Amino acid sequence: MRRASESDAEALARIDSFAAEGDEERCGHIRRWCRQGLAAVAEDAFGPLGYCVVEYTFFEQGFVTMLMVAPAARGRGVGARLLADAATSRTTPKLFTSVNVSNQPMQRLLQRAGWTPAGLLHGLDEGDPELFYLCPPLPSASEAAGPRS
């Protein structure tokens, strides 16, 4: 896991299912996210497996704007590792994300990772409401240290 740089944008666009199909708007977002250092990349020796973008414009809290895993790497824990990295590296007490009701695989990933439903919004994508989720809180320093003897 590492922070993406501007030079990663092309490789990330190749593994992004929308950008790879020619979505120029998505390609532009990927370039901006890489340029601004907002994307974390999961990779192996052959290149990127997925990426995750966290921004801090959602009520001044962290928000996972994008989580994308290469089609060939899905089901191998890449998404879970990207979410865990976003959770531990966040700079705000709360971290949110959202997902369309139709995106069952992402909902299952969030639930397995312990994220809790935080609300439902109609009107963004016609006929496909957006579910919002809240990341579990980070353990306090004393909780992380474990019980005292």
Which residues partner with 48 through β-bridges? 43
Strands 95-100 and 61-69: parallel
pLDDT at 19: 96
Mean pLDDT over residues 92-97, rounded?
A: 96
Q: Model confidence at 56, in pLDDT bands (50, 70, 90)?
A: very high
Mean pLDDT over residues 104-119, rounded?
A: 96
User: Looking at the predicted structure, is the pLDDT value of residue 1 above 80?
Assistant: yes
Q: Model confidence at 138, in pLDDT bands (50, 70, 90)?
A: confident
Mean pLDDT over residues 80-96, rounded?
A: 96
CATH of span 2-145:
3.40.630.30
Instruction: List the strands of the sheet with 95-100, edge to edge.
Output: 2-3, 39-44, 47-58, 61-69, 95-100, 130-134, 116-121
Mean pLDDT over residues 33-41, rounded?
A: 96
Mean pLDDT, all residues of the chain: 93
| CA–CA separation, 43 and 49 (whole Å) | 5
pLDDT at 85: 97
Map out the domains of the chain as residue ranges: 2-145
